Every structure is written in C-alpha cells, then in structure tokens.
C-alpha cells in the first residue's frame, strides 16, 4: 500500500485493483467508517459507505488526538495522517509541545495542579466535521453515499444481508460494518432492539460547547490560557479548552454534573444566564471561559459502558456505535482509528480469501478490541468524576487528583499497535484452526 495517487484527468484517487471479492457495506460516514473505508480500498478491498445525513454542516466539536491515535492513522493510510496533519493544531507555545493538558484549579485564578506530559507528541486537535470532509475527498467517486439512513436489515440464507434505507431503496452486502455513531441503528439490530445494551446510557452530566475566534479568546483569557490546552476543574463542573484549525479557533467544552436528563432531545437551547448560574461558584478563569458562549446549548453526554459482543456473523460494530465515550480522556475517537487498523490488517491477511473466513476475523476483532475500548469508556467516565472533584478515591483532595492524572493516561497512549495487530491475527488463526478441527470431527 503506497501513497494515494491521483488520476490526472479527474483528480480522483486511483483505486487499486481489487484483490479480494468481498462485498462490504459500511453504515455511517463518520471518522470510524471513513478510516476503515480508506484503509480497505487502499488494500484492494472494495467498499461502499452509506451516510444518513443528507448534507454536511460545519457544526461539530473539536477532537483531541494523542500518539496512539496518530500512529493508528498513519498505519491505516499515510493519506489519512497527511490530511490530519494539514488541519491539526497542537499547543500554541513551544515550551508546551509535549504537554497533553494543563490541569488547573478552577476554584482559583487557574492555579496549576499538574501538566500531563505525552512525550514526543503532546496532543493535536481538529474540527470533527472538517476533518471528516477531508477524508471523504480521499475516497474514489461513487464510494460515498449521503442520505442513506438505515431502517432495517434482513439476514439472507447465504449469510449475507439486505440493508433497507429510509428512502425505500435497498442494498445487498456480504459484510456489514456499523459505524453509525452513538445512536446507532446497527447496534440495535445487532444486540436486539429490546436489549439494555442497545441504547446509550446517560453519563450524569451535560456540556455547553462552542468555538470562538482565537483573537477573542486571547483578549478574554490571555495568551497562555487561550493558545494552549487547559482543563479547569471545579466542584461538579469542569471546562476544557484547546486550539483547533491551526490555532485560529478555540474549542470550548464546559461540563456540569446532573443526576438525570429530563428532556426528550439530547441538545436543548439554553442562555447565557443559565450558563452563568450553572458555573456561578467557579473561579475567575472558568467564569471567563463560559462568558464566551454567546449562543449556548446544553448537550447531554451519553456513552456505551457495556456490550456483550461487537459482532454477529459477518456484521460488526466500530467506533462510537461500539464504544461511545465521554470526552474526559481525549481517547474515544482515537479508538475508532485503532478499530479500523485492526480490521484492515485482519481482512487483508492472506487467511481471509472469501466471505467464509470473515467471521473468524470479526471474532478476533471482538476478542482483542472490546476489552480495551470498554475499559476506555469506563475510565473516561471515572476521570470526569475525578475532574469534577467527586471521584470515589480522590474527592476534593488536589494531591490525590494530581497523582491520578499523572499516571492514568499512559496505558492508552503507549499501546504497541503492531503487537495489538499481531495478537488479533494470532487469535484469528486460533479461531480458524479450532473451527477446522470441529468441522473434521463432525
């Protein structure tokens, strides 16, 4: 797999000659589905990807990535990493280039609790929607379809599927990957629509989100606090800020704990008055952060803390459809790229020569990826508790909070992705051999 080449006439990516006759449908055109599609196509495995939205909007959050995610991007496809690098923003100050986040005491004027270091990379951030649009541009024409909202899926006698769309059309596929986000229809179909695991769980918090021009952020917060990534921790609340779009914008997330969510919708219009009330007991820096939210809306935070399986037959979940997380470890989206890397590596393996071998690959994917991703979901929720000063073992003790923050991220960042891929392949071979022996005994 080399770098992407372009057709001189169309400027469309040149598609490698198909190496495997696998009819794959990816449901959902977010970062998980797009990265999987790009990786498979560049490995000579044809894919069609179906997105439910009818058009792009520029609404969306800033996303944080650290070294495990960036490494996964590059291993899936150098083109993905190149697109990311062209858009991403790191820390604004050279002295903070290896810093993940500065964690500060939000009850004061932002006194430093600890600077968490991610050696060699620090962290990089992008605008979710704009990055996704960049990835769509890496796909061959005719591969990405918008306005395709899944309503049902039929299992066919040969193990393949018929996908039924809200527009009345249908699509047949031998293999289906559900990457349709936290409200995933694919998850409901795979786990059963009445299963408690099929629906996301309220994480007992909501967030106000926004983006402001960097010039304004500097005027309000000052150079250091605006141009570098910060988490201000308060009692039952926190704010996270980080630069995006090459430092031209500041992404803001202001979270507040709440026991229940009484609204039918996940996003509810709010007001500056309500935001000020929610953060009234916070210190000066947090007050300045929330003052920049001109048109605030409340976003309920949900996640998927448990899942008994990520696959069934030749149907599997990836990204947020499998393991949606709260944002408190900056790790949720990075796991989508790890998912895609493992799946690309399994499906391109010489063992997988037809659809008959795909289930072995998906069982191995589930065995390797599910424990790691669900641990990240649950430790992210835990870190939210810690950073809102109500952690079970840390409470309001800043020394204990610092000790937790200094050590809690490295198992995520320092993952050996080559080893993870090899473990997945070894598991696939083991499953295949076991299946072969069982077949011989019958």
d(CA 404, CA 233): 14
Cβ–Cβ under 8 Å, residues 238 and 106: yes
- Where do we find the tokens 């994480």? 203
d(CA 298, CA 167): 31
- Structure letter (DSSP) for residue 396: T
Residue 389: name the closest of 101, 117, 108 by CA: 108
Q: What angle do CA 38, 43, 46 make, to 5 degrees?
A: 70
Q: Which of 43, 187, 209, 369 is catalytic?
A: 209
280: tokens are 């009234």
Q: Which residues contact 4 (CB under 8 A, 6 or more apart)?
A: 13, 14, 42, 77, 79, 138
CA atoms within 13 A on the CB side of 116: 23
369 part of the active site: no
CA-to-CA dists, residue 121 to 69, 100, 125, 330, angstroms: 11, 8, 12, 14
CA-to-CA dists, residue 164 to 111, 147, 153, 287, 317, angstroms: 55, 12, 6, 49, 17
Taking each helix axis from N to C terminus, what angle separates 398-407 and 358-387, rounded to the nearest 10 degrees?
160
Phi then psi for residue 100, to 5 deg, are -80, -60
Residue 419: name the closest of 429, 410, 408, 427 by CA: 427
Please state, as a whole number, how many other Cβ atoms lie within 10 Å of the Cβ of residue 185.
21
d(CA 251, CA 238): 14
Helical H runs in 175-319? Answer: 185-191, 214-221, 223-227, 272-278, 284-291
d(CA 226, CA 247): 9
Q: Report the DSSP pairing between strands 161-165 and 170-173.
A: antiparallel
Cβ–Cβ under 8 Å, residues 241 and 225: yes
135: tokens are 């990835």
What DSSP string describes 149-169?
A: -EEEEEEPTTS-EEEEETTS-
Indicate which residues carry an active-site annotation: 209
């Amino acid at each position: 797999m080399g770098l992407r080449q372009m057709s001189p006439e169309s400027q469309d990516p040149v598609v490698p000659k198909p190496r495997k006759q696998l009819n794959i449908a990816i449901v959902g055109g977010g970062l998980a589905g797009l990265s999987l599609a790009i990786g498979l196509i560049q490995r000579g495995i044809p894919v069609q990807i179906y997105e439910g939205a009818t058009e792009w909007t520029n609404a969306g959050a800033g996303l944080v990535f650290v070294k495990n995610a960036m490494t996964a991007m590059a291993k899936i496809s150098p083109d993905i990493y190149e697109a990311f690098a062209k858009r991403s923003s790191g820390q604004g100050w050279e002295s903070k280039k290896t810093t993940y986040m500065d964690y500060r005491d939000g009850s004061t004027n932002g006194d430093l609790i600890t600077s968490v270091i991610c050696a060699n990379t620090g962290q990089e951030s992008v605008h979710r929607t704009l990055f996704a649009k960049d990835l769509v541009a890496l796909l061959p024409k005719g591969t990405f379809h918008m306005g395709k909202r899944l309503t049902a899926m039929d299992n066919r006698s040969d193990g393949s599927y018929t996908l039924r769309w809200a527009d009345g059309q249908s699509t047949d596929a031998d293999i289906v990957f559900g990457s349709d986000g936290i409200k995933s229809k694919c998850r409901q179909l795979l786990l059963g629509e009445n299963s408690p695991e099929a629906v996301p769980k309220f994480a007992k918090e909501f967030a106000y989100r926004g983006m402001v021009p960097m010039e304004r952020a500097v005027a309000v917060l000052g150079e250091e606090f605006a141009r570098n990534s910060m988490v201000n921790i308060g009692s039952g609340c926190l704010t996270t800020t980080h630069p995006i779009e090459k430092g031209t914008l500041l992404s803001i997330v202001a979270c507040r704990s709440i026991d229940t969510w009484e609204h039918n919708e996940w996003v509810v219009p709010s007001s500056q008055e309500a935001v000020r009330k929610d953060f009234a007991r916070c210190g000066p820096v947090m007050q300045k952060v929330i003052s920049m939210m001109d048109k605030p809306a409340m976003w309920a935070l949900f996640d998927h803390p448990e899942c008994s399986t990520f696959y069934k037959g030749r149907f599997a979940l990836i990204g947020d459809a499998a393991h949606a997380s709260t944002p408190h470890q900056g790790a949720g989206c990075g796991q989508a790229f790890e998912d895609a890397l493992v799946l690309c590596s399994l499906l391109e393996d010489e063992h997988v020569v037809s659809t008959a071998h795909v289930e072995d690959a998906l069982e191995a994917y589930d065995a390797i990826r599910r424990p790691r991703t669900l641990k990240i979901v649950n430790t992210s929720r835990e870190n939210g508790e810690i950073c809102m000063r109500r952690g079970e073992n840390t409470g309001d003790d800043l020394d204990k909070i610092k000790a937790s923050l200094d050590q809690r991220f490295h198992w995520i960042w320092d993952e050996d992705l080559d080893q993870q891929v090899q473990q997945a392949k070894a598991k696939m071979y083991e499953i295949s051999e076991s299946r072969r022996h069982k077949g011989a005994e019958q």
